[in-house]
Chain A
């Protein structure tokens, strides 16, 4: 990898994740091989160790997430990564981390499923990612990069948000973004003030307070109080940490909405539609939890038609429908994941034109 004259490097999405982890000060990485994310452990097995960090190829995804739990409990920045089947195995540990208010970054390079599925790009793990995924009722921070640059930037942001809110953070990409190469700028880590980790388990030397990282609450009302405390924290996330991108939405009669890889294709398609005179925009959520509900609500004040596009039979559409005004209509076009299902811009343009006709027939020109 070399830096070119414009200060950019030409790298894969997965490599960008690994490089961002280094820049973010990640001290420990624990992983297990699975396609299409193996570039991440491969990169870190070389580079993290050179910098005095810890790299362990764990015995399983379950081992890896629990190593992350243990490292994170001592207050260091730590990360794991995987894809569908492995992320399913990690759900136990993620639930325990959520229950113990532990930070930690998990990268999910989605592949087709269910089961062994396939290694093609997928967005069918949206529910698993945004609804908590494991048992007990919790949420984690979910960030959805749509470019290699964002793989880098959002991985760093994931470390910061996770530390700030003491909630695990998931970077949710797919094989298209993970395996794609693009030129990016390796931005330096932002120096922001984060709360100190006085809760961390480091032995009692120093403060002589017993610190306990746990998720067991047996006392009367303790568990209930925990849930309400976390509910309030999730609300704070919704209030302050929603991220999204809008493209040509101001005068749009139809707003296409998509995240991650699909939003890239959709962006090309709406540009083509604009060239043909269709007033079409794009709303791309970057944070999937918290979901930018208010932004959707505001858009639906002036635009009553949305077209949700996903590499699934429709999951994010539930959040879109819950966010837009009640008189707004949300259309759907999906390509469930699998070999050959990634749509072309022309295919999406065709869908946009079809739904645009419906909008015009409802609304007039």
Chain B
């Protein structure tokens, strides 16, 4: 009998702590599928960040280093430079990567560090209870922007996939979503490409995943999926922003 669907070997057979409707589970699965596809599980080192993604080691069956908040690209730099024959990825949220960790991500990307960054953008700080993030949309209400994000006060949301695409050291940046089957298939392809570039030692690869956070958005999972299409994708368009294969 042909197996048409199974748990990726790179994922552990455990329940996650993620809330109902949260997209982290889907993103975890896509990353695990990429590790399986390229047969790199046994040589992979994951770098967990601070936030809902901190339990990476509980779900991925790979070696993991836990990083201080925002510092995952620096930790990954140290690990990859020390062990250049290993596959290294960071998995970071928007507060982690685009606020407290902006310096680390920009500089790692600019050095062209040969690792992969999975950036989960759900426009809020999930773990701490839904505060305003650097990617919170204009007008979006959060627990620390109760009147809606005011661009005059808080600045405009960072578009990280576009921003990093300006840097010469970057091999690949793309923005994807996982809120419907079509987008999931596209995300799978992009995440696989990012890891393939690392296997081929092409340099820094970056995937921004637009994700839902139904709990902190105060939405049902299906409504949250819809918000990704209705509000997030118009502001954060999907697509490839830099691909050295095309340069």
Interface residues of A (CB under 8 A from B): 27-28, 30, 54, 56, 58-60, 62-64, 66-76, 78, 92-93, 96, 100, 201-205, 208, 210-216
Structural contact, A67 and B77, CB atoms closer than 8 A: yes
A85 vs B47: C-alpha distance when bound (angstroms): 28
Q: When A213-B64, A214-B57 are in contact, do A204 and B41 touch as well, CB less than 8 Å?
A: yes
Minimum C-beta distance from A163 to chain B (A):
15
Minimum C-beta distance from B100 to chain A (A):
10
Task: Please report the number of residue pairs spanning A and B whose Cβ atoms sit closer than 8 angstroms.
Answer: 137
A214 vs B64: C-alpha distance when bound (angstroms): 8
Structural contact, A62 and B74, CB atoms closer than 8 A: yes
Q: Which of B39-81 contact A (CB under 8 A)?
A: 41-45, 47-48, 54, 57, 61-68, 71, 74-81
Q: When A69-B65, A100-B66, A203-B42 are in contact, do A54 and B82 touch as well, CB less than 8 Å?
A: yes
A189 vs B47: C-alpha distance when bound (angstroms): 33
Q: Find chain B residues with CB under 8 A from A202 CB.
A: 45, 63, 83, 86
A-B contact pairs, 27 of them (CB 8 A): A30-B78, A54-B82, A56-B111, A59-B107, A63-B74, A66-B104, A67-B74, A67-B78, A69-B75, A70-B65, A70-B67, A70-B77, A70-B80, A70-B82, A71-B79, A73-B79, A78-B78, A92-B68, A203-B42, A203-B43, A203-B62, A203-B87, A205-B42, A205-B43, A214-B65, A214-B66, A216-B54
Residue of A nearest to B78 (CB): A70
A203 vs B78: C-alpha distance when bound (angstroms): 15
Minimum C-beta distance from A183 to chain B (A):
34
Q: Is B13 an interface residue (CB 8 A)?
A: no
Structural contact, A76 and B64, CB atoms closer than 8 A: no
Structural contact, A213 and B66, CB atoms closer than 8 A: yes
A70 vs B67: C-alpha distance when bound (angstroms): 8
Q: Is B16 an interface residue (CB 8 A)?
A: no
Q: Find chain A residues with CB under 8 A from B54 CB.
A: 216
Q: Is B220 an interface residue (CB 8 A)?
A: no
Q: Find chain A residues with CB under 8 A from B76 CB.
A: 70
Give the one of A59, A64, A68, A203 with max B CB within 10 A: A203
Structural contact, A68 and B78, CB atoms closer than 8 A: yes
Q: When A66-B104, A205-B43, A211-B63 are in contact, do A73 and B77 touch as well, CB less than 8 Å?
A: no
Give the one of A27, A64, A66 with max B CB within 10 A: A66
Minimum C-beta distance from B72 to chain A (A):
8
Structural contact, B45 and A74, CB atoms closer than 8 A: yes
Residue of B nearest to A92 (CB): B68
Minimum C-beta distance from B45 to chain A (A):
5
Residue of A nearest to B56 (CB): A212
Q: Is B244 an interface residue (CB 8 A)?
A: no
Residue of A nearest to B74 (CB): A66
Q: Find chain B residues with CB under 8 A from A93 CB.
A: 68, 71
Structural contact, A204 and B62, CB atoms closer than 8 A: yes
Residue of B nearest to A27 (CB): B82
Q: Find chain B residues with CB under 8 A from A70 CB.
A: 47, 65, 67, 74-80, 82
A28: contacting residue among B43, B61, B66, B82, CB under 8 A: B82
Structural contact, B81 and A73, CB atoms closer than 8 A: no
Q: Is B143 an interface residue (CB 8 A)?
A: no
Q: Find chain A residues with CB under 8 A from B47 CB.
A: 70
Minimum C-beta distance from B106 to chain A (A):
8
